[in-house]
Structures are given as structure tokens and as C-alpha cells.
């Protein structure tokens, strides 16, 4: 009997211990979400838009005459300065044409001078003198054309830039006007799609700071300058093209079609002065419930969230401007907030 009481007492102690353990709150790490700190728009440099790279000037160069390439200096990626020789054709037949045209011109010039002397002596009619003059002019034009053809056997870089593509090889016979090489200017532009609010403020954006970051060279940012915005919206996206020019450093080859991102101050995309001041938050952090707009604000000590109603400015972009409801420095849920509820505990998502 005494052993039964001891066994029963031990069982009670075990049950009490289990109950106490169940009553203690478990230390859960919280739901993984992306967090962001609310920033003042003037200090925000986080408007990021995908861009496509294109040379400001890009053209296919061609010989104006046909011939066989004897001097070929173009290699894909090679850079030329304005006036540098890119390629040459065999000049012999063109030089012969110049020599022949020059001889014919000198003969026509001599005949004209002889006719002038005879005309002064009234030995020939005026019509004969005019005929000799016409023959001299025709010979002069033929000589000028032959000299031009000889000059056209040399392909010169019309501007400084790099070779984007070659279409022929050395010793190949080419036809006049057929593309030989594609030359792209050193200065390039990043093209992005922007809303109409950007185009409205385009005249004011000459001094706006922006940077370009190539996907092929992450971490390297190049200062860019707003160049222009298109005047007609894309029929499918209803956005406009905006162009930012920049010059990549020596040694970094930037070609047409490369992808990049343009980072600008958030106020670049403000449609008015009201949007150009306030707080900047990611668009993914903002939710709507019936007539209310809200974000999830993180309580720093407990890492719990609470719903906060906000008032935003109109506009489209990666970030949105908050006019009321938040303070600079507060932490909000930037992504992943669609599945949260009031009081949830959260933590920063790690890749």
C-alpha cells in the first residue's frame, strides 16, 4: 500500500511539471519578413528602375565604293578615335582612274586656253569657245569624282567609339553601301520606363542626381544625367521612355542591349511639390483594406507588429510617398505582410 502512494505521488509531480512547462510561452523566432526603415524622401536614393543600355550614337559604316579589303583594323570591342582609319580597300584601280581623269582635265584645260586665245583674235566663233569651256568643266567634274572615289577607299571613324559588331573580314571583296562595321559612341544611355508624372516634370530634372548600376558589373555605380523623355506613351504599358546618359570608365566595355538599373532620388518621380517631400516607403509595404491604407509597423523591443493607418501621395513607382501616419526611423514590414495579423512576431528574412 505504501508503495502505491509513493507511485501515485510521483505521477502527480510529473503531471504538475508537464502542466507548468505547457503554461510557459514558447520562444518562437517570429515570421520571416523583409523589414525596412522609413526614410525621409530628401535622403532617399532608392528609386530603382530596370534599364536597357544603348549607345547615344550607333551606326553601321560602309564603303561608298566597291573593292577588296587590304587593310582591316576593326575588331569587336576595339575603340577608335574620331578620324582613325578602320579599314582600306585596294586603291590601285581608283588611283588609275584619278590619273586618267587628271590627264583628260589637263588636256581640256589646254584646249580651252587655246580657244580663248583664238577667240581674242576672232579666229573662232563664240560657240566653239563655249564648247571648250563645257568640256573643261566636264573633265574637272570627272577628276573630282575620281578623287572622291579614291578617298572613299579609306573608312574613317566619324566619331569616337567602340566596335559593336563586324560584318566582313580582311581580303574580302565588298559591295558599295553594304555594312562593314557597327560603331557605337563612347557615351551611352540607360533607358527606363516611367509614369506620366515624370514627363510632366522633365524640364526641371536637368540637375537631378542619378546613378546607373550595370547588371554585369554589380556594385559599380556611374553618375548619370537626365537627357530627355519621350513625348508619347507606349500603347501597352502607358509609360514613357526616359533616358539617362553616362560615361563608363576606361577598361569597362559597355555594349548595346546590356541590362542595368537606374537609381534616382525619389522626388524625381513626384508629380508636384506635395509629392516631393515626406517619407518614402516601398510600394510592397502598403496595403489597402476597404477605404483604409495601412502598413505594418514593428515594435522594436518585442518585434511585434501593429497596423498603422497612413495617408499617401498619388504616384507610381517602386517607392511611395507617405504624408501622414509614420515617422522617419520607424521600422515597417517591407515585404511579406500580406499574411500577417495584428500582434504577430516578426524577424528579418535572411536568404
Q: Under 8 Å CB-to-CB from 227, ≥6 apart: which residues? A: 189, 243, 244, 245
Q: How many CB atoms lie within 10 A of CB 161?
A: 23
pLDDT at 100: 97
Residue 239 reports pLDDT greater than 90: no
- When mean pLDDT is compared across 277-281, 324-328, 333-337, the lowest value belongs to 277-281
User: Could you tell me the three cell numbers for 98?
Assistant: 584619278
pLDDT at 17: 39
pLDDT at 135: 95
pLDDT in tens, 150-178: 999 999 999 988 898 899 998 999 999 99
pLDDT at 43: 44
pLDDT at 315: 59
The closest alpha carbon to 280, from 221, 327, 239, 242, belongs to: 327
- When mean pLDDT is compared across 24-28, 306-310, 325-329, the lowest value belongs to 24-28
Residue 293 reports pLDDT greater than 50: yes
pLDDT at 65: 96
The burial of 224, by beta-carbon neighbours within 10 Å (0-12 exposed, 13-18 middle, 19 or more buried), is given as buried
User: Average pLDDT of 21-32?
Assistant: 56
- With a pLDDT cut of 70, the percent of the chain lying above it is 81
Superfamily of domain 47-56+187-264: Efflux pump adaptor protein, beta barrel domain (2.40.30.170)
Candidates 3.30.420.40, 3.40.720.10, 2.40.50.100, 3.40.50.300; correct CATH number of 61-88+155-184?
2.40.50.100
CATH code of 31-42+276-348, in short, is 2.40.420.20
Give the DSSP letter string of 221-241.
EEEEEEEEE-SS--TTT--EE
Would you list the domain boundaries of the chain?
31-42+276-348, 47-56+187-264, 61-88+155-184, 91-152
Q: Does domain 91-152 have CATH number 3.30.70.260?
A: no
User: Average pLDDT of 188-208?
Assistant: 72
User: Average pLDDT of 69-81?
Assistant: 91
**pTM value > 0.85:** no
Q: How many CB atoms lie within 10 A of CB 43?
A: 11
User: Average pLDDT of 4-10?
Assistant: 39
What gap in Å lies between CA 277 and CA 315, rounded to an integer? 13
Amino acid at each position: 500500500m505504501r508503495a502505491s502512494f509513493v507511485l501515485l505521488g510521483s505521477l502527480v509531480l510529473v503531471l504538475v511539471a508537464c502542466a507548468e512547462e505547457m503554461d510557459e510561452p514558447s520562444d518562437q523566432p517570429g515570421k520571416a519578413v523583409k523589414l525596412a526603415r522609413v526614410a525621409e524622401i530628401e535622403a532617399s536614393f532608392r528609386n530603382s528602375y530596370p534599364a536597357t543600355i544603348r549607345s547615344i550614337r550607333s551606326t553601321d559604316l560602309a564603303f561608298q565604293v566597291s573593292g577588296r579589303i587590304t587593310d582591316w583594323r576593326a575588331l569587336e570591342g576595339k575603340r577608335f578615335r574620331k578620324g582613325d582609319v578602320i579599314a582600306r580597300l585596294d586603291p590601285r584601280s581608283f588611283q588609275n582612274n584619278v590619273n586618267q581623269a587628271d590627264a583628260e582635265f589637263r588636256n581640256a584645260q589646254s584646249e580651252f586656253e587655246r580657244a580663248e586665245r583664238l577667240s581674242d583674235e576672232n579666229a573662232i566663233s563664240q560657240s566653239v569657245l563655249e564648247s571648250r569651256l563645257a568640256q573643261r568643266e566636264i573633265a574637272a567634274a570627272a577628276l573630282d569624282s575620281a578623287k572622291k572615289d579614291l578617298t572613299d577607299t579609306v573608312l574613317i571613324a566619324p566619331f569616337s567609339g567602340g566596335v559593336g559588331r563586324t560584318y566582313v573580314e580582311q581580303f574580302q571583296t565588298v559591295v558599295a553601301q553594304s555594312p562593314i562595321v557597327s560603331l557605337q559612341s563612347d557615351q551611352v544611355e540607360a533607358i527606363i520606363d516611367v509614369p506620366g508624372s515624370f514627363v510632366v516634370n522633365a524640364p526641371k530634372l536637368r540637375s537631378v542626381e542619378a546613378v546607373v548600376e550595370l547588371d554585369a558589373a554589380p556594385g559599380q555605380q556611374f553618375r548619370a544625367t537626365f537627357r530627355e523623355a519621350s513625348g508619347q506613351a507606349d500603347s501597352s504599358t502607358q509609360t514613357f521612355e526616359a533616358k539617362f546618359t553616362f560615361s563608363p570608365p576606361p577598361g569597362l566595355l559597355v555594349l548595346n542591349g546590356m541590362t542595368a538599373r537606374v537609381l534616382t532620388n525619389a522626388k524625381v518621380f513626384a508629380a508636384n511639390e506635395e509629392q516631393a517631400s515626406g517619407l518614402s516607403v516601398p510600394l510592397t509595404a502598403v496595403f489597402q483594406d476597404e477605404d483604409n491604407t495601412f502598413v505594418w509597423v514593428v515594435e522594436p523591443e518585442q518585434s511585434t507588429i501593429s497596423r498603422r493607418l497612413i495617408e499617401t501621395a498619388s504616384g507610381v513607382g517602386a517607392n511611395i510617398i507617405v504624408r501622414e501616419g509614420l515617422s522617419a526611423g520607424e521600422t515597417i514590414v517591407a515585404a511579406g505582410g500580406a499574411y500577417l495579423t495584428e500582434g504577430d512576431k516578426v524577424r528579418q528574412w535572411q536568404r
